[in-house]
Amino acid sequence: MHAIRSVFAPIHREGHRFVAIAAALTLGLFLVSNVAGWIGVVLTLWCAYFFRDPDRVTPTREGLVVSPADGVVQMIEPAMPPPELGMGDDPRTRVSVFMNVFDVHVNRAPSDGRITRVEYRPGAFVNAALDKASEDNERMAVRMTTSEGKDLAFVQIAGLVARRILCGLEEGQTVRAGERFGLIRFGSRVDVYLDAGMVPLVATGQRCIAGETVLADSRTNEGPRHGEVR
């Protein structure tokens, strides 16, 4: 039942016009040929699938940082937060989650807290899987203070084919962990910069579910996790 709901999930409002356009084009293709029309049907269904927006079950204990995106943990490494967020010159642990075109692209808040800064920066559209995408690509950077007073940042990064970042957050806004806040169209990445002392509880190559997978826990003394393909 859960698998069925994930496939036939509601469509995000941002996708309504794309599905409508694809459906209209499909009708026109049927006037040309049945083969072209059925290709249009497949593309319309894929468009609806891409913009799916399933509900998620978010762990609610304070101190947890959940993944803001569906996808694979591309890298975990020390990195400087975006300078426009004013988070100082010390590197922080950065967890990068890469979304391919088949992942859910609705993004969710990683923790309970208050948004303290939202900054957009135009840029390039290189492959989001590359390390330099964090610096070179178009991005929307968000800084927040969690309900426990931790200083976090999360950054939506455009990818090779992504051409629009949507972020509905505003400075001063209060959010809950797992709350929907935006979307990136057609392949992209989200970086999370953890506060000092916070250790990631995921491993490189691990698949994350937005709003559900715990990336870090400020209340644990567990060391970094390592994983292997089995």
Joined tokens for residue 93: 């642990």
Q: Which is catalytic among the residues 67, 96, 188, 218? A: 188
Q: Are 52 and 9 in contact (CB under 8 A)?
A: yes
Q: Could you give the angle at the alpha carbon of 54 between the alpha carbons of 120 and 68, nearest 5°? A: 35
Q: Is 188 a catalytic residue?
A: yes
165: β partners:
184
Structure-token pair, residue 153? 């940042």
B/e letters for 35-70, b = 16+ CB within 10 Å, e = fewer, are eebeebeeebeebbbbbbbbebebeeeebbbbbbbb
- 8-state DSSP, 11: B
Catalytic center residues: 188
